[in-house]
């Protein structure tokens, strides 16, 4: 199995790159974000590779990092997500953004991926929710609080503060996470106005 390729960029296709390794041109399929980050033809590049072997073909998928390749594998453990959809998700969201979206149950962010509908996005954030926090940059305690808020167990001032941020144009998951973090720092007795101020500071980071 091929795990990594180091060579010279020969040319680009719509969803792939031809990587010249010692005079052999490998066709490597990549997410759009990966293709955009690779150098111009004639320059050196290194790709982590996932090799798919089928009866009628061998297909190579390329990633800038091993971490991105792990996400490609992880996404395909979700029912209804194959290589094409996994690559499309990674073309829309960076691994860090995807991890945060799953940790905060932000299915709307995942659903921005072309070809991914609400049901598949729901399955991704649900089935990977226990795996994402270890990849995410979000404080695990904030994830728990955001989950509690998402399940409508939040006290009055917290719920009011989230509603205020949503009215300002922020998404529900982002607002919930920001107010969850604000609630942690301000304590259980914090008033709505204080939570809103602290929540806005969180969102401005």
Same domain, 55 and 103: no
Res 48: pLDDT: 95
Q: What is the pLDDT of residue 151?
A: 43
Place of tokens 């969180």: 202
CA-based R_g, the chain, Å: 20
Distance, CA of 132 to CA of 23 (rounded, Å): 40
Q: Domain check: are 122 and 169 in the same one? A: no
pLDDT score recorded for residue 46: 96
pTM: 0.67
Q: Are 85 and 116 in contact (CB under 8 A)?
A: yes
| φ and ψ at residue 42, rounded to 5 degrees | 95, -15
Q: How far apart are CA 119 and CA 107, in angstroms?
A: 9
Nearest in space to 49 (alpha carbons), one of 94, 5, 15: 5
Mean pLDDT, 10 residues at a time, the chain of 205 residues: 93 96 96 94 96 89 92 92 94 86 83 91 88 56 52 67 82 77 80 87 77
Residues spanned by the domain of 31: 4-63
Q: CA–CA separation, 132 vs 106, rounded Å?
A: 12
Last residue of a domain, which of 108, 134, 160? Answer: 134
128 with 71, same domain: the answer is yes
pLDDT at position 62 = 96
Q: Which pLDDT value is given to residue 144?
A: 52
Domain boundary among 98, 114, 134: 134
- What pLDDT does 146 receive? 55
Say yes or no: 115 and 151 in one domain. no
**Cα–chain-centroid distance for residue 105?**
11
Query: What DSSP string describes 29-88?
Result: EE-HHHHHHS--TTSEEEEEEEEEE-SS-EEEEEESSHHHHHHHHHHTTSTT--HHHHHH
pLDDT of residue 199: 84
**pLDDT tens readout for residues 106-144:** 888 899 999 899 999 999 988 987 776 555 555 555 555
Q: Among 89, 115, 134, where does a domain finish? A: 134
Same domain, 40 and 77: no
Domain count, the chain: 3
What is the C-alpha to C-alpha distance for residues 15 and 13, in angstroms, rounded to an integer? 6
Q: Are residues 34 and 50 in the same domain?
A: yes
């Amino acid at each position: 199995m091929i795990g990594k390729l180091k060579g010279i960029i020969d040319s680009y296709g719509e969803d792939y790159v031809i990587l010249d390794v010692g005079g052999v041109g490998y066709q490597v399929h990549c997410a759009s974000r990966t293709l955009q980050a690779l150098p111009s033809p004639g320059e050196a590049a290194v790709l982590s590779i996932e090799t798919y072997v089928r009866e009628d073909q061998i297909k190579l998928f390329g990633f800038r990092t091993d971490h991105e390749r792990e996400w490609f594998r992880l996404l395909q453990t979700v029912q209804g997500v194959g290589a094409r959809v996994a690559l499309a998700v990674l073309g829309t969201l960076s691994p860090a953004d995807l991890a945060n979206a799953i940790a905060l149950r932000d299915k709307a962010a995942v659903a921005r991926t072309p070809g991914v509908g609400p049901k598949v996005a729901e399955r991704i954030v649900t089935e990977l929710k226990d795996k994402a926090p270890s990849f995410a940059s979000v404080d695990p305690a904030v994830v728990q609080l955001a989950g509690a808020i998402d399940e409508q167990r939040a006290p009055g001032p917290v719920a009011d503060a989230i509603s205020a941020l949503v009215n300002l144009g922020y998404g529900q998951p982002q607002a919930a996470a920001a107010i969850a973090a604000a609630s942690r720092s301000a304590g259980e007795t914090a008033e709505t106005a204080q939570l809103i101020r602290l929540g806005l500071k969180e969102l401005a980071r």
